[in-house]
Amino acid sequence: MSLLERIVVDPEIVHGRPAVRGTRVRVTDVLSLLASGATEVEILEDYPYLEADDIRACLEYAAAQADHAILLAS
């Protein structure tokens, strides 16, 4: 299974924001925790229903979203 399959977008779950499948944990929640210095171990302790691959999936999702061309109009 691709890591990205762990991320779902469903209008019935957290208002359609990207989230870890089977949970209400948004991708942005995981990214914010990592950005604030939380380690993978700390996140998994605080959210025992998450797996290490869920964290990696959030990072992969964010990387894919940030990888797009910028077109400048003249």
**pTM to 2 decimals?**
0.88
**How large is the average pLDDT for residues 22-34?**
98
Render pLDDT for 36-72 as a digit per residue (tens, 0 to 9).
999 999 999 999 999 999 999 999 999 999 988 888 8
What is the percent of the chain with per-residue pLDDT over 70, rounded to a whole number? 99
Domain coordinates in residue numbering, the chain: 3-66
* Rounded Cα gap, residues 40 and 69, in angstroms: 30
* Span 3-66 CATH architecture: Orthogonal Bundle (1.10)
71: left (phi over 0), alpha (psi -120 to 50) or beta: beta
What is the percent of the chain with per-residue pLDDT over 90, rounded to a whole number? 86
Instruction: Please state the three-class secondary structure of 4-70 as a single string.
Output: HHHEECCCCCHHHCCEECCCCCEHHHHHHHHHCCCCHHHHHHHCCCCCHHHHHHHHHHHHHHHCCCC
Would the pLDDT of 1 be above 70?
no
